[in-house]
Amino acid sequence: MRLESAAPIRGSDSTPAGCSRNARIRWAYPWILASLCFIIAGCSNLKVKLPTSDSTPPSLTWNVFHHATREQADHPGSPTIHAKRGDSCRILLKAKDPEGVKTIQINPTLGGGEMTWQCASGDLAKNMSATLGPITQNLAPDANGMVLTSIFLAFELDFSMDCPAGWSFASGSAQLTGRAGNYFGGVTTEVIKFAVNP
């Protein structure tokens, strides 16, 4: 498992802590997010005056970009995506709320993000796992009382899912949990799952 961030990865009994081969994680820090916002969409039309109420929580959409094929697609809600061992994908969690987004998180609680896979050797099976660490971005009104109505976080997954010598990969799965909240306590949580085949 190769780790390219400061997010904690904890090994199970069958996976050494701090292992370095199976989940590659990166995220965009606030200044990167801001830069991308201006480059891609222009932030001026993504801000509104902070209202006095908001009766609906943010909506969440996952965007999955496959590095090998260069294909990408949006997946609202809590989808299940099929992948193959060795694939690598960039995951964007996009939050929108017409009255303003206050916070966005990936894997906000322990166990919200994880990979599990099974290695086989004859009639024997070995279960492997890794915990994927959290990312949080908190927002606040600017000096003019304006708030962003849309924001995203980026997360990269590498499904290499290595097995010990003499063992072969059988199957695997992964999940990320996304959460976003507005300025009046409205919260939405969605989970994206991956079914990983040989």
The structure's pTM equals 0.79
Measure the CA–CA gap between 14 and 37, rounded to whole angstroms: 41
Specify if 2 maps to a domain. no
pLDDT of 37: 44
The three-state secondary structure class of 154 is strand
Residue with more model confidence, 74 or 19: 74
Which residue range(s) make up the domain with 168?
10-197
Q: Among candidates 28, 41, 30, which has minimal Cα distance to 138?
A: 30
At 70, which CATH number? 2.60.40.10
Has residue 23 got a pLDDT over 50?
A: no
Total domains in the fold of the chain: 1
Specify if 22 maps to a domain. yes
Specify if 3 maps to a domain. no
